Every structure is written in C-alpha cells, then in structure tokens.
C-alpha cells in the first residue's frame, strides 16, 4: 500500500565482528607497511583494543544518555586507514627532520674544516703580517 515508504527505508542493522575478524582485517591492512613483525602485531592488538573499547564506551553512552552511537565495521576500517595515513605522515616527517639534521651536521663539519684551513693560513701569514706592520710604522 505504501511503496515509497518501503523504497526509502534503511534498516540500521549492525552486527559486531568477532575478535579474530578484527585481527585478520587489521593484519591485511597493515601487511604492505614496512615494519618489524613484533611492532606489526602490537599495532594490530592496539587497533583491536581501540575498536572494542569504543564499542564498550558506546554501550555506556547508551546506558547513561539513551543515545545510540554505532560502532560499525566501516568505522573500524576507517580507523585503520587513519592509522596508516597518520603513520605515513609521521614517518615522512621523521625522515625529513633526520635529513635536516644530517644536512646541518654536514654543514657544521664543513665549516669546522674551513675554519681549520683559515687558521693554518693565518698562522702561515703571521710573519708577513708582522713585516707589513713594521713597514707601515716606518712610513709614518
């Protein structure tokens, strides 16, 4: 009797993923990223912990305020994507900072060598400078 009502309805039916599904999805998304296996496992566990704790907080939120907050598999995948992009951004910043420090260190080393050469030249020119000073005094 009401076809537009049926066509325009959305069912809010979210089922939670089991923990092994959360682990396998996180492992799949973190697989292409270069890191030590121990660090990768820690990251997977942390991502799973964040998702499960968010689910628990959503339940507390509903109990206290009677407002639903849906923690869906899509939000888990978005969290993993955000983690990957943040990790990439921070790694690039660290590499950039490291290059700046390396370049600065090289400049300091070059400057030290240049100063050493100037000091050697200055020591070699000391007798000529003394002669020039004596010649200048004689002229006056």
| 30, 84 Cβ separation under 8 angstroms | yes
Residue 137's Cβ-count burial label (10 Å; 0-12, 13-18, 19+) is exposed
Percent of the chain residues topping a pLDDT of 70 = 90
pTM of the model: 0.69
pLDDT at residue 1 greater than cutoff 70: no
pLDDT tens-digit series, residues 109-128: 999 999 999 999 999 999 89
pLDDT at 11: 63
Residue 94's Cβ-count burial label (10 Å; 0-12, 13-18, 19+) is exposed
Percent of the chain residues topping a pLDDT of 90 = 65
pLDDT tens-digit series, residues 16-58: 888 888 899 999 999 999 999 999 999 999 999 999 999 999 9
Q: At a CB cut-off of 8 Å and minimum separation 6, what does 75 contact? A: 51, 54
Q: Measured between alpha carbons, how far is 75 from 66 in angstroms, rounded to an integer?
A: 21
Q: Measured between alpha carbons, how far is 138 from 74 in angstroms, rounded to an integer?
A: 92
- Residue ranges of domains in the chain: 14-139
| 72, 14 Cβ separation under 8 angstroms | yes
């Amino acid at each position: 009797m009401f076809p537009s009502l049926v066509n325009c309805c959305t069912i809010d039916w979210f089922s939670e993923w089991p923990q092994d599904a959360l682990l396998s999805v996180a492992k799949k998304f973190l697989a292409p990223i270069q890191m030590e296996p121990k660090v990768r496992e820690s990251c997977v566990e942390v991502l799973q912990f964040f998702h499960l704790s968010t689910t628990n907080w959503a339940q507390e939120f509903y109990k206290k305020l009677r407002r639903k907050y849906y923690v869906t598999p899509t939000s888990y995948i978005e969290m993993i994507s955000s983690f990957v992009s943040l990790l990439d951004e921070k790694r690039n910043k660290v590499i950039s900072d490291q290059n700046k420090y390396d370049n600065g260190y090289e400049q300091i080393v070059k400057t030290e060598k240049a100063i050493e050469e100037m000091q050697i030249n200055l020591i070699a020119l000391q007798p000529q400078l003394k002669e020039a000073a004596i010649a200048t005094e004689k002229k006056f």
